[in-house]
Structure 1
């Protein structure tokens, strides 16, 4: 049941006819003519082949590929491959010299997340996450005291890596922007 009401000179349709019924009418409008028009269109042509790839040449290429080549076959028969297993000691991965490690300079108190319990030291040239945040904070708070050279020396880091760390990684920074005018209302914390 479709109810049509005339209201104020405009047409007002109820919710029953809105939605899918109207879209179906527009979608199926003149469908058969549109299909015939699309079928009747000229199909796109395939791109022309390169002039070097003509039918004669492609058939010659396929024949030359499948043709037996006696000189190459005799050369292949003369090849001798000898395979030996490497000794068992060579299969073991070579251990590098004892890795130089340094104790942690800074860590979180306690064991809040459970995965930091075993970490007591780190390899030289590396930082733990907590140390990295501490280094960034030190440099941010006093850049004249904690220069890249001082940080590299203190934490046994490469100077180039330290400069990259300080240049490209920024600790969280909160900026409070004051209101532009006094007339604007602000939300007050309660």
Structure 2
């Protein structure tokens, strides 16, 4: 509905538009915008002291007229010492070698932390020989918390590879180094009652 009204009223709005625009532009002094209402206290102050609004400080006005700001970018000063001691570009332009695990490992490792490489190392060492590589020894060597190390060794394992001695022979899975527990299935025992109770149940 609004679009229909705008289409209908558009010729009325644009009637003699160019002449009206020239009439407004050709005015010597344009009409001023309406001023805000003055605060009554401020109006009372102006009535009592009419010279305050018109007075100017001549010294400050002169300072403002004398002020002239120019902006210039300073040229960089290059000393002879900095140019002589300028470091040369590296001559080695070879592509850096990729790390073992796809990212660069830190050189300084804080206490209580371990890199991926060291974690795989002590996990595999504990997995192969837990008696020789005990938890206390690993804690002392890698400066880890005992609780954290116990959780790591409990939930993380290293993959085990089995390669047959004879390539032509069929390989058989030898099983893990650490024996796993076997699940034994047993049939549940049936409840046995008195013969008289069994007979009564049959009759019912």
Structure index of larger Rg = 2
Higher share of residues assigned helix: 2
Higher share of residues assigned strand: 1
How high is the TM-score relative to the length of structure 2? 0.30
How high is the TM-score relative to the length of structure 1? 0.32
